[in-house]
């Protein structure tokens, strides 16, 4: 298969390129890091890149929380306009398959259960609660403590920041393209991806990169809130393998299929920081009590659909991955 990988020179994209090539696919990289004209918002450049292509693996995106609303236009331009231009060109060129780098951020908060009211959806956390160090969301009906659980793909979506909103819009655009063009679209809703080649010290690299960069400078990782936020840290090679599985699966034409893509092993942010610091040889993390308003408390998802339907499974165990990441090189961009 001849596959165009947008963002193929980036952190996740470069691993996807390697995984596809290892399976014998012909891979073309479309990335502004390698060619300043390779912008997914440029219809001429995209149309040229799609010549003779059988499938597209769309990794190019501006990632991160988004700084309130002030950078919304840039996120929408890079993520949503870029995706719209790409899909329009795919429809014209007759390229039938798309795998999209989705994100678990579209869910907002994860799944919660109240002992009195069952499954509930807490709203955004209150600033006064966060300032007071009350980080756990409470039952929106009775105010009782909640138990976090796993989110399935059919859960309602509730994006809580600009980035999350653009990732959901990408999925809607892909669904429209699939119906209109008779194409097959898959969105892999990535969890917290980490591993070699993560960018260092950028606002959009993710918490694992910030911790790793601090350790490289001999500084203690700074853990926000109380460190008990639950996440699913999935290794980048496992994410790349999920992309290959999605591209090689039998296509479902005319529709978008979404898959949670995580390790299946929830860990707290504090646990991850401690594991990474121990593997690196210190210093120990510091829990700061600081917070970011756009963050959610707990978000871990059930990836069993991806395992069952595409035969994918994560191979890199948490502590093995952290030991590797503690010594792996980071990208300087």
Q: 295 phi and psi, to 5 degrees? A: -75, 150
| Element at 209 (helix H, strand E) | helix 207-216
* DSSP label of 212: H
Of the residues 112, 163, 194, 259, only one is catalytic, namely: 163
CB 167 within 8 A of CB 106: yes
Per-residue DSSP letter, 297: S
Two structure tokens written together for 75: 């996120």
The CA distance from 199 to 331, in Å, is 4
**CB-based contacts of 227: which residues, under 8 Å, 6+ apart?**
268, 269, 270, 271, 273, 285, 287
Tokens of residue 261, six digits? 């893509």
> What would the two tokens of residue 8 be?
């193929």
Q: Which is it for strands 184-190 and 255-261: parallel, antiparallel or unpaired? A: parallel
Measured in whole angstroms, the distance separating CA 84 from the mean position of its chain's CA atoms is 19
Do you find a cis peptide bond into 228, omega within 30 degrees of 0? no
163 is catalytic: yes
Question: Judging by beta carbons within 10 Å of its beta carbon (0-12, 13-18, 19+), is residue 154 exposed, middle or buried?
Answer: exposed
Q: What interhelical angle do 269-280 and 318-327 show, nearest 10?
A: 50
Task: Report whether 185 contacts 175 (CB < 8 A).
Answer: yes
8 Å CB contact between 104 and 187: no
Q: Is 6 exposed, middle or buried (0-12, 13-18, 19+ CB in 10 A)?
A: buried
What positions carry a catalytic annotation? 163
């Amino acid at each position: 298969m001849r596959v165009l990988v947008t963002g193929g020179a980036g952190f996740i994209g470069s691993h996807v390129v390697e995984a596809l090539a290892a399976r014998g696919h012909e891979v073309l990289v479309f990335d502004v890091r390698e060619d300043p004209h390779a912008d997914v918002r440029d219809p001429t450049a995209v149309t040229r890149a799609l010549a003779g292509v059988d499938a597209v693996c769309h990794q190019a995106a501006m990632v991160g929380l988004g700084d309130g609303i002030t950078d919304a236009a840039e996120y929408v331009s890079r993520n949503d306009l870029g995706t719209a231009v790409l899909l329009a060109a795919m429809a014209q060129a007759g390229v039938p398959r798309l795998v999209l780098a989705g994100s678990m951020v579209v869910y907002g908060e994860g799944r919660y259960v109240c002992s009195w009211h069952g499954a509930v959806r807490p709203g955004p956390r209150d600033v006064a609660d966060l300032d007071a160090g009350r980080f756990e969301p409470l039952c929106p009906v009775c105010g009782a403590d909640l138990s976090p659980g796993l989110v399935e793909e059919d859960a309602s979506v509730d994006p809580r920041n600009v980035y999350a909103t653009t990732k959901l819009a990408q999925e809607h655009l892909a669904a429209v393209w699939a119906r209109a063009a008779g194409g097959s679209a898959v969105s892999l809703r990535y969890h917290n991806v980490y591993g070699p080649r993560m960018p260092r010290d950028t606002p959009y690299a993710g918490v694992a990169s910030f911790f790793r960069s601090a350790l490289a400078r001999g500084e203690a990782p700074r853990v926000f809130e109380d460190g008990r936020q639950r996440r699913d840290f999935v290794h980048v090679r496992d994410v790349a393998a999920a992309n290959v599985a999605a591209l090689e699966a039998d296509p479902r034409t005319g529709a978008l299929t979404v898959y949670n893509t995580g390790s299946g092993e929830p860990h707290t942010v504090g646990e991850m920081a401690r594991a990474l610091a121990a593997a690196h040889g210190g210093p120990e993390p510091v829990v700061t009590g600081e917070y970011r308003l756009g963050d959610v408390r707990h978000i871990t998802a059930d990836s069993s659909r991806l395992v069952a339907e595409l035969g994918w499974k994560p191979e890199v165990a948490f502590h093995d991955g952290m030991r590797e990441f503690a010594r792996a090189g980071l990208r300087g961009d």
